[in-house]
Structures are given as C-alpha cells and as structure tokens.
C-alpha cells in the first residue's frame, strides 16, 4: 500500500507537470502573439510566476478538489489513480491535437468518473459539481467581457496617441500583465494537484483530517513550474496566432481581464479554467475592433473541446478504475 501511495503521488505530480506543460500557452500566448517577448524568456517568467502563485492565493481550490466533488470517506487509492490516469490520458490526447482544453476539468472529470466506478453515485457531491459548472460558465464569459471593456477603454483613452507609442507603452505593461496572469494560473491550477495529494495522505493516515501541508504546496508548485518551462508550443501557436491577430494593448487587456476573474475564483474556491478565461479574453479584445477580426471557427472548435473534456475525462477514468478494481 505504501508503494501504491507513493506511485499515486508521483502520478499526481506527473499530472501537475503536464498541466503546466499543457497550459503554458495560457500564460504566454498573448505576450508571444504580440511579439513583446520571444517564447523562451516568456516561458521563464511564466514558470517562476507559476511557482509563486500557489503560495499567494490560499488553498480554497485545493479543498474543493479534495473534498468537494467526491466524499473523502469513499475515496481509495484505486479511485485516485484512476482519476489521475484518465486526466493524464486526456491531456496527452488534446496536446497531440493542439487543443487548448482545460487540464482542470480533465481532472474534475477524472475524479467524477473514477468515483462513480469505485463507489457509485452515493459518493458524488453534487453541490461541488455545481461549483465547477459555475466556473466553466463564468470564466470564459467574464474573461471576454472584462477584456473587452479594458480594450475599449484603452482605445478611447489613447485614440489620439500614435500607434507606435501605444505599442511601446503596452508592450512594457504586458510584462506585468503576463506575470499577473501566470501567478493566477499557478494559484488556481496548481491547487488542484495539492487537493489530490492531500487526499492520498488522508487515505494513508499521514494526516488525520483534510488539510494541505506546506510541503505539498511546494511539491505541486515545483512540478507545475517545471511543466510550464517545458511548455507545449503546439497550443501556444493556436492561442497566440489562430484566434485573432493581437496588438500589445489587446494582449494587456486579455491578460489583465482573464487574470482578474481567475484570481477572484481562486479566492472563492472555484476550480476555474485559465484556458477558458484567456480564450474568452482573446476573443473579447479581438471583437473590440470588429467581430470579423475573431476567427470564430477556431473559437467554436475550442468550445467543443471544452464541452467534451469533463465527460471524456470521466469516461476514461471510469474504465481505468473499473479495470483496476477488476484486478483485485
């Protein structure tokens, strides 16, 4: 059991690494898309901020993941391993396809599917699922709306300023906004693995009640920052160039708007998707100039990927957990 528990923790950290790897695009897409930074220094900044983020925003999201979706009383190592495996498989599949789906919701789907396979519907906390659905709905819409308003205000305020000057000003400001977004990415996404590792420790009696030890925060933050540093360039290309052509002021607006909603949801304990928020933000700033500036066909493909992520992750994890339980 000890070896199995260690294996489960390793699997959780692998998922966290892949989360950073898969979602690196979220942190750097706009700053790369506006050509303010080249990919390598952008990823370096994002990796550092992803490491720091989990230490700044509390552990409310980790608590939601750890005991807000499946009742901890029903959780076993088999369920945890099945949930992580399903989420990892879905992350790899969508990375190969270049789809900016949500690692967070892949994990939520994994927990749900594994919990159903291992303990049945009695273990599901439907109020927690409602919280997750709230994040799914709120993050892209709010990200789009806030980014749209910020970009519109910038256009009004700087209407008589030369474009070169505007680009120069917001090129520098993007260094701040992209770091801000990376901090919130680490804060919200980094906490999910913390919740899983805390569950593992709880099942093994290492901790007697659900809590997030400081060493768990350190492990998860390190794994995510390393994943971000080695980030997925396939998804960067989709996010940075295929949705709309970005100017520095638009990148600033998208990052600032998206980061603000993600930070708010992190404090509230809602496991929102940074992918959803920044995608909405990019669409919002693109629509400020004209609706046709946004490639809505790409956006539609992204939205469909969002929709299927939780059920797909749940299905894969259900099958894997059923197989694991059948090997007893």
Q: What is the mean pLDDT of residues 232-248?
A: 59
CA 228 – CA 18 distance, rounded (Å)? 8
Q: What is the pLDDT of residue 198?
A: 92
Name the band, by pLDDT with cuts 50, 70 and 90, for residue 236: low
User: Across all residues in the chain, what is the average pLDDT?
Assistant: 83
Could you read off the pLDDT of 142-177 as tens digits, one per residue? 988 999 999 999 999 998 999 889 988 998 898 898
Q: Which of 161, 247, 194, 180 lies closest to 67, judged by CA?
A: 194
Alpha-carbon distances, residue 88 vs 106, 248, 287 (angstroms): 8, 34, 34
Q: What is the pLDDT of residue 292?
A: 55
Q: What is the pLDDT of residue 251?
A: 83
Q: What is the pLDDT of residue 242?
A: 53
Q: What is the pLDDT of residue 290?
A: 63
Percent of the chain residues topping a pLDDT of 90: 26
Name the band, by pLDDT with cuts 50, 70 and 90, for residue 216: very high
124, β-bridge pairs = 70
- pTM of model > 0.85: no
The count of C-alpha atoms lying within 13 angstroms of the C-alpha of 183, restricted to the half-sphere facing its C-beta, is: 18
Q: Which of 319, 311, 320, 321 lies closest to 132, judged by CA?
A: 311
Q: Is the pLDDT of residue 8 over 60?
A: yes
236 CB-near residues (< 8 Å, 6+ apart): 24, 25, 28, 29, 32, 39
Q: Is the pLDDT of residue 15 over 80?
A: yes
Name the band, by pLDDT with cuts 50, 70 and 90, for residue 233: low
Q: Is the pLDDT of residue 220 over 70?
A: yes
In the 8-state DSSP scheme, what is residue 238? I
CA 248 to chain CA mean position, Å: 23
Q: What is the pLDDT of residue 295?
A: 59
In the chain, domain spans: 2-326
Among 90-94, 259-263, 275-279, 284-288, name the most confident range: 259-263
Q: Is the pLDDT of residue 241 over 60?
A: no
Q: Is the pLDDT of residue 39 over 80?
A: no
Q: What is the pLDDT of residue 147?
A: 92
Name the band, by pLDDT with cuts 50, 70 and 90, for residue 257: very high
Could you read off the pLDDT of 109-129 as tens digits, one per residue? 999 999 999 999 999 998 888
Q: What is the pLDDT of residue 37?
A: 76
């Amino acid at each position: 059991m000890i070896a199995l528990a260690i294996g489960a923790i390793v699997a959780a950290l692998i998922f966290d690494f892949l989360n950073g790897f898969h979602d690196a695009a979220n942190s750097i897409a706009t700053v790369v898309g506006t050509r303010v930074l080249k990919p390598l220094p952008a990823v370096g900044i994002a990796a550092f901020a992803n490491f720091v983020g989990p230490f700044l925003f509390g552990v409310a999201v980790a608590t939601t993941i750890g005991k807000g979706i499946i009742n901890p009383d029903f959780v076993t190592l088999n369920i945890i391993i099945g949930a992580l495996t399903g989420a990892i498989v879905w992350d790899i599949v969508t990375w190969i396809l270049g789809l900016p789906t949500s690692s967070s919701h892949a994990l939520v789907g994994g927990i749900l599917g594994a919990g159903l396979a291992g303990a049945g519907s009695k273990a599901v906390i439907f109020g927690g699922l409602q919280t997750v659905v709230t994040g799914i709905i709120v993050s892209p819409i709010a990200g789009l709306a806030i980014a749209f308003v910020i970009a519109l205000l910038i256009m009004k305020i700087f209407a008589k300023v030369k474009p070169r000057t505007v680009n120069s000003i917001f090129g520098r400001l993007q260094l701040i906004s992209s770091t801000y977004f990376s901090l919130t990415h680490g804060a919200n996404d980094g906490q999910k693995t913390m919740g899983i590792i805390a569950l593992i420790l709880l099942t093994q009696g290492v901790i007697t009640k659900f809590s997030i030890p400081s060493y768990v925060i350190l492990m998860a933050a390190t794994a995510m920052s390393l994943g971000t540093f080695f980030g997925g360039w396939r998804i960067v290309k989709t996010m940075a160039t295929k949705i709309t052509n970005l100017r520095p002021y638009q990148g600033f607006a998208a990052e600032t708007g998206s980061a603000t909603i993600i930070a708010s949801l992190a404090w509230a304990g809602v496991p929102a998707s940074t992918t959803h928020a920044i995608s909405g933000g990019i669409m919002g700033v693109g629509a400020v100039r004209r609706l046709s500036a946004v490639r809505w066909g790409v956006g539609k493909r992204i939205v469909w990927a969002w929709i299927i992520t939780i059920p797909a992750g749940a299905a894969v994890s259900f099958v894997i957990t059923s197989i694991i339980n059948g090997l007893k």
